[in-house]
């Protein structure tokens, strides 16, 4: 498909207390998307009243225009931040978001981090899969008609796309660029920003990485990296102990102390996260079970039931 003439304009909502990285991360990715030295995206910065705002870090941001229903831009990007709690109460903002969702054509509603709560408050996420920052779990419970999965890096449901928070806005932008402009352009942007073109796993998997980096000593950290990188291997308690250089009893004690879970629970959690990434890519179920280390579908189904309380098929229907 010839997309040499492709160009798209994105309105970026800014407001007092916006998280600067929620704005700058995806925006920088879109700005770096070029083909034949031509930019493929243009950004307009809009605030609820058209006035300057101050980001949560204190930086003052100037709006190009007021958020409104008459905008001719293609897409609307809604970032998150501490200021979201005030914005969700703004009826005029919610009305504009509803208008964007009701537009015909291919216009997209894109949110980063807790910006998804603004979309949820406007009612446009009802019946859709969505994610937001893990720290907003309590807030998501106010919107029971949304299919929340806070362990997802990003979700796509028709023309509505959400990302988990902060740097995952870049991941979502890269996936949009790939769809719009092709893999070569997306790869060039990823290389420019020195980020992965596509991360696998969910928020919890990266939380595991972080927790591993803060364990006492680096024994568990190195073990965690190996399990996450190769979940398909035989990670029995004995195998884990051999890699860590610890007897099973000592290894179990270290996991309880530093990770607040048993070694077996840790391995299952990693494998479920890996399986979810493969399911999103439409890998056949049997292959997903093998590649993620479960070996057979029955074991994978039981793991999903323990983790999410739903069957694999139900998970695919909601988020696949």
44-48, 66-70, 271-275: least confident range:
271-275
pLDDT tens-digit readout, 124-168: 999 999 999 988 989 999 999 999 988 788 899 999 999 987 788
Q: Which residue has the higher pLDDT, 224 or 37?
A: 224
Query: What is residue 214's predicted lDDT score, i.e. its pLDDT?
Result: 47
pLDDT confidence band for 207 (50 / 70 / 90): low
Rounded Cα distance, 225 and 96, in Å: 45
> Which of 7 and 183 is assigned the larger pLDDT?
7
Fold of 8-193: Rossmann fold (3.40.50)
DSSP β-bridge partners for residue 110: 77, 161
Neighbours of 197 (CB within 10 A): 16
Domains 8-193 and 203-319 share a fold: no
Inform me whether the pLDDT recorded for 97 exceeds 90: yes
Does residue 47 contact residue 80 with C-beta atoms inside 8 Å? no
d(CA 254, CA 212): 11
The pLDDT of 92-119, averaged and rounded, is: 96
pLDDT of amino acid 150: 83
Mean pLDDT of the chain: 89
Which among 178, 174, 85, 175 has a CA at the least distance from the CA of 132? 85
Each domain of the chain, given as residue ranges in start order, spans: 8-193, 203-319
The answer to whether 102 and 38 are in contact (CB under 8 A) is: no
Q: Which of 130-139, 184-193, 270-279, 310-319 has the lowest mean pLDDT?
A: 310-319
Place of tokens 């996260």: 273
Name the band, by pLDDT with cuts 50, 70 and 90, for residue 199.
low
Structural domain 203-319, CATH architecture: Orthogonal Bundle (1.10)
C-alpha dist (Å) from residue 77 to 9, 28, 43, 204, 314: 11, 13, 10, 25, 29
């Amino acid at each position: 498909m010839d997309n040499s003439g492709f160009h798209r304009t994105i309105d970026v909502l800014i407001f007092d207390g916006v998280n600067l990285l929620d704005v700058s991360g995806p925006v920088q990715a879109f700005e770096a998307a070029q083909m034949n030295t031509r930019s493929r995206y243009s950004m307009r910065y809009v605030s609820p009243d058209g006035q300057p705002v101050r980001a949560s870090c204190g930086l003052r941001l100037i709006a190009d225009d007021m958020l409104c229903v008459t905008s001719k831009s293609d897409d609307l990007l809604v970032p998150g931040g501490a200021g979201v709690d005030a914005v969700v109460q703004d009826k005029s903002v919610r009305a504009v978001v509803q208008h964007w969702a009701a537009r015909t054509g291919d216009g997209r509603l894109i949110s980063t981090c807790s910006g998804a709560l603004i979309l949820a408050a406007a009612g446009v996420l009802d019946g859709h899969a969505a994610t937001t920052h893990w720290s907003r779990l309590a807030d998501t419970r106010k919107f029971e008609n949304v299919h929340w999965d806070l362990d997802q890096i990003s979700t796509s449901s028709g023309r509505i796309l959400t990302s988990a928070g902060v740097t995952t806005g870049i991941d979502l932008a890269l996936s949009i660029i790939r769809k719009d402009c092709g893999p070569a352009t997306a790869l060039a942007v990823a290389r420019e920003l020195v980020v992965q073109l596509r991360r696998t796993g969910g928020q919890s998997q990266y939380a595991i990485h972080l927790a591993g980096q803060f364990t006492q000593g680096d024994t568990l950290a190195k073990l965690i990296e190996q399990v996450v990188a190769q979940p398909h291997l035989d990670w029995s308690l004995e195998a884990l102990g051999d890699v860590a250089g610890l007897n099973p009893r000592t290894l179990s004690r270290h996991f309880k102390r530093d990770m607040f879970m048993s070694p077996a629970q840790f391995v299952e959690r990693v494998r479920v996260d890996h399986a979810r990434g493969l399911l999103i890519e439409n890998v056949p179920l049997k292959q997903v079970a093998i590649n993620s280390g479960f070996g057979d579908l029955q074991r994978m189904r039981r793991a999903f039931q323990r983790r999410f309380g739903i069957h694999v098929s139900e998970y695919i229907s909601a988020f696949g």
